[in-house]
Structure 1
Amino acid sequence: MNAKGLRAALAADPNIGAGNVLGTVLAHGADPAGPGLIFDTEVDGRPAGYELTLGELDTMVDARAAWLHARGIRRRDPVAVWATAAADTVLSFLALTRIGAIPALMNGKMTPEIAAEYIRRLRARGVLADAAHTELLAGHDLNAELLGQPAELGTGDPAAAPERHRHHQDDPIVITHTSGTTGVPKAVLHTHRTLFASQRHLLSMPQAQGTNRVLNALPIPHTATVLMVCQILCNRGTMLCLSQQDGPTVLAAIERWHPEAVYGFAVTWADLARFDLSTRDVDSVRMWFNTGDCAHETHIRRLVAVGSRETVTRAGRTRTKGSHFVDGLGSSEMGHNGFHVTHTPDSDHYGRRIGRVYKFAEAAVLDADGAELPAGTIGRLGFRSPSMSPGYWNDSVTTYRARLGGWYLTGDLGYRDEEGNYYHVDRDPDAVVGDGYYTALSEERILAACPEVLDCTVVIVAEDGGIVTDVLLELVPDADPDVDRTETIRAALGEPVGSTLNRVVAIRQDDVPLTVTGKVRKFLLRQKHLSRGSA
């Protein structure tokens, strides 16, 4: 069956979901000799970069399912997976869902204390941890059995694998987690149905250009990577999964592997924008796809200036210099980007525009009581979609606190225009009460106005009855860090934030505290500010 016919068959299959994509694709006649996945580390004796066929991938998953089943793992058993290598996490996910268990995927950058507490809250049946993370867990009470290392699962006998679990659409199939900006991350549950809802929609549409050869630079344990595994298997494309998502690693992979599309978070684009990409071998890239937090204009412009894309002219299809950047706003809870907007080198629709809602979803801007606000008025973003998580694992209180008037509250502040485009101004916890005091919007203005600033962090604090703003700047290498930039930054900020500017500090990239997925932990910066006072 060709790829187009397979996509149509999968879209019409009422039983497919995020828990059984691999088996269902094969059952519909996909060629076992066709593409499976590519990992950046050695797996089961195969070297890094080896292109697994679909059949080889299925056999490797069977071996792991047999190993898990022999150790008593059964359907509905939550199993935590804490590892660094992409192969360890992805193959463990596929094997656990193969037998109906519930993989709980954990970011390898968690601290041991937070990881142990997270596992305890999961009430996990068992834990799979690689050697480094097994050592980190030593001495911690997990209230769960350490089953072994993910790489050991490959020693199972594929012939001993149990029958594939027959998923119901409401079956839980994965637990991922939020970035943990304020402490222990929230455990986000997704079902067979919710995590395939966006893919079912995409399968009914023409396949986007650049999605046959994908570099996955998304955090591996994140919901977004699970979505990408489903997407690439359904599209019968090729995907290289990176275990690390920093700029140098991603750029080296682009130059070595020549992908058509690169998927990642805003922190990766900011890191890539530090390089002079015009001198690098990135012409293969047609599309950059961003999820999580929306990206900054200055970083997007540096990416779309390179690569190439197909355009339609009177002479037919032709390749044009400059690529696409698909921006938006998403989260683990939303299950897929809720919004989308496409940029090219000719774009002028920035200003933190996150675009329109996907056709399978709905959004609204709400006041504190859940009433919808008119166009142009900033409020809380509400979202609803068949892709939405049903809630937080073992935490009904937090689940229902995030709902208001039938909407899920994304934790973001924004507005919409009369044409139905949405704009993001800040994360709710990072904004200060008062019209116009928004940190993300302030960062956007500084980056747009100051070419010598590579990245920046704005911290706005309410204290002593007033508002105080600190600005942390990461400068280009040849910029003088001792130059007083206060008035330049004040002008870029505009009113009312500019009038509250307290200090402008040049910093290094490593000076800003980040979550495991690369978000700035602004609450820590606010605490530091308050603890030292406004000198």
Structure 2
Amino acid sequence: MTTESLESFAAEVNSPTNDFCSYVESVLAVLAETPDRPVVTTADGQEISAGEFRDSVYRIARELAGWGVGRGSTVSLLSGNRPEALTARYAANLLGARAVFLYQGMAPGTLARITESVDTALLLIDPDLPDVADSLPALARPPYVLSFGPGPHGQDLLARAARHEPVPVRSAARPEDDWCIRHTGGTTGVPKGVRMPHGPYRDMLAFGSVGAGEPPRFLACTTLAHVAGNIADATLLAGGSVVLQHSFDPGEVLAAVERERITHLWLLPPLIYRLLDHPGLAGTDLSSIRRITYGGCAASPARLRQAHETFGPVLFGGYGQSEAGHVTVIGPDEHRDLPPEGQATVGRVIPGVEVALHDEQGAPVPVGAVGEIRVRSGQAMTGYWKQPGRTAEVLRDGWVHTGDLGYLDHQGYLYIVDRLKDMIIVVGGHVYTGELEDLLLTHPAVAHCAAFGVRRADAGEEVHVAVVPAPDRPLDLERLRDFVTRHKGAMYAPTGLHLVTEIPLTPVGKPDKKRIRAALGA
């Protein structure tokens, strides 16, 4: 670390011209009010106080500054659910750098391309992820690599940071600066980098995504690199605490809910189903839960009703995109009235967001008709990183063209039908995979499923579905095909039904249809 680096760092973050209060500063101010209060419990049961967490952010910020990290630079993080996934990100953002989350489930080659494409100045890696951490530095070749603890790649960031005094500093970030670049799931190719500015993110956290009442206690059992990280930020901003788990395991989640008196959870719908099907559910004390937020993929109305009956009026769903931000919300009372069959609504449009639906020619569609969902919102991305052509395709006249198909009913509830790219073009019309999956999830013998198209030699497409049978439920594939025909017609009847033990997911938790096709040879 050079004297020049520290002087430049101090001049930037303490500049009197920067009167913007970033989300990091807001969180740190809350932590300063009660420094002895435990705010993070690690997956190994270690408690970290608010003061320790805050000091760690300042120490890491000073160390990162010595490596040239500052406003406009990029810090890429490959980490499991450990405290440093938060403190190091906060430190980078405090310096005005953008954070890039690298998802563990992506192939090393893809991670390397992402790392290079975002002009990574510093790569932070978790030594507890050897499968990826061992190969990524050599593939990506960033200028500098630091490790969250002793490891074979890079110096120990934590040991180096511990040498610094935790001197408070002001954020160098401006409202228009990117706090992160979040990459799309990559189910249709190399992920695109969505630019997310500080100003809208701070406003979104202040909107109250954890609700009112006593300070929340959030269980982060999915990756902090995605939505769980956002909810962790909102939890700390609300004066709450975060309990970390390495990954989702239904038995461990239920045990943690009871042991830690968890109030808030974020889960993908398939993970909710796994909790509902776990034999330990009946004996678990769930009385502490105040909010289970879900999203990310289609949900079964029948299973959501079951979750409402099991967990109580605590379910919050919604629809959103990295590109568009949060768009809709559906609350606890509305889950009570979900139909037993058909499609589950993703709720009504939240205040400050506009939604319009248009057909293929760009004309508005009437209520009840399917069209592409367009969104205008202050939370929308500013564009894709270094991809002006793709940005121009998606972001037009202030509207995000989501690529999702849906419709609005007369009460203003939005329903998601499919992704434009997932729509299967068959003889006689279009098959919406989302509608087909929603229908199959109402069948008692189906636990999970994913529908996809397979191109034929004549360039047409066939409907195929990978199906995970429900436990202890015999599944007759011909009867299942007849079930689809009876409810949706012959056009929707799958040509291929494939029994599988699980549906592979992308790093952000959505069905990975590329991997499904490859595994089935389709």
TM-score of the pair, normalised by structure 1: 0.83
> Which residue number in structure 2 is paired with residue 316 of structure 1?
none
* Matches of 2:429 and 2:245, distance apart in 1: 41
* Matches of 2:514 and 2:78, distance apart in 1: 26
> Which residue number in structure 1 is paired with residue 134 of structure 2?
135
Change (3 A) 1:496 1:347: same
Correspondence for 1:517 among 483, 500, 508: 508
> Which residue number in structure 1 is paired with residue 218 of structure 2?
214
* Matches of 1:341 and 1:397, distance apart in 2: 34
Task: Note the C-alpha offset of 1:195.
Answer: 1.1
* Matches of 1:501 and 1:105, distance apart in 2: 37
* Matches of 2:45 and 2:181, distance apart in 1: 28
> Which residue number in structure 2 is paired with residue 331 of structure 1?
321
1:496-511 aligned within 5 A: 497-498=491-492, 500-509=493-502
Contact 1:247 1:272 in 2 (8 A): yes
- State the AA in 1 paired with 2:172: R
Contact 1:123 1:143 in 2 (8 A): no
- State the AA in 1 paired with 2:306: R
Task: Note the C-alpha offset of 1:430.
Answer: 0.8
Correspondence for 2:474 among 463, 474, 480: 480
Q: Percent identity?
A: 25
Change (3 A) 1:190 1:238: same
Task: Note the C-alpha offset of 1:425.
Answer: 0.9
SS at match of 1:442: helix
Runs of 5+ unmatched residues, structure 1? 1-13, 41-47, 308-321
> Which residue number in structure 1 is paired with residue 106 of structure 2?
110
SS at match of 1:86: coil
- State the AA in 2 paired with 1:184: V
Task: Note the C-alpha offset of 1:243.
Answer: 3.1
1:353-364 aligned within 5 A: 353-364=345-356
- State the AA in 2 paired with 1:418: H
> Which residue number in structure 2 is paired with residue 17 of structure 1?
22
* Matches of 1:442 and 1:501, distance apart in 2: 9
2:292 counterpart of 1:288: yes
Contact 1:446 1:492 in 2 (8 A): no
Correspondence for 1:90 among 83, 86, 89: 86
- State the AA in 2 paired with 1:92: A
- State the AA in 2 paired with 1:506: L
Task: Note the C-alpha offset of 1:55.
Answer: 1.4
Between 1:113-122 and 1:274-283, the stretch displaced more is 274-283
Provide the aligned C-alpha RMSD in A: 2.8
Contact 1:126 1:145 in 2 (8 A): yes
Q: Deviations over 1:403-426 (max 9, x none)?
A: 245310222110001221110111
Runs of 5+ unmatched residues, structure 2? 1-18, 150-155
2:369 counterpart of 1:377: yes
Correspondence for 1:257 among 234, 256, 260: 260
> Which residue number in structure 1 is paired with residue 145 of structure 2?
147
Contact 2:93 2:173 in 1 (8 A): no
2:72 counterpart of 1:76: yes
Between 1:414-423 and 1:518-527, the stretch displaced more is 518-527
* Matches of 2:86 and 2:222, distance apart in 1: 12
Task: Note the C-alpha offset of 1:502.
Answer: 1.3
Between 1:279-288 and 1:384-393, the stretch displaced more is 279-288
Q: Deviations over 1:230-289 (max 9, x none)?
A: 311221112223331343443343243231221122342243233243343433323210
SS at match of 2:165: helix
Correspondence for 1:169 among 169, 175, 190: 175
Task: Note the C-alpha offset of 1:162.
Answer: 7.6
Q: Deviations over 1:439-475 (max 9, x none)?
A: 1111111111x11211112223454365522222211
Contact 2:81 2:223 in 1 (8 A): no
Q: Deviations over 1:297-350 (max 9, x none)?
A: 23323322223xxxxxxxxxxxxxx23211111222233x31111245732257
TM-score of the pair, normalised by structure 2: 0.85
Between 1:73-82 and 1:162-171, the stretch displaced more is 162-171
SS at match of 1:374: coil
SS at match of 1:93: helix
Task: Note the C-alpha offset of 1:295.
Answer: 2.5
* Matches of 1:364 and 1:33, distance apart in 2: 48
SS at match of 1:92: helix
> Which residue number in structure 2 is paired with residue 429 of structure 1?
421
Q: Deviations over 1:87-134 (max 9, x none)?
A: 232121011112222221111222111111111111111211122233
- State the AA in 1 paired with 2:327: G
- State the AA in 1 paired with 2:219: L
Contact 2:449 2:465 in 1 (8 A): yes
SS at match of 1:166: coil
> Which residue number in structure 1 is paired with residue 6 of structure 2?
none
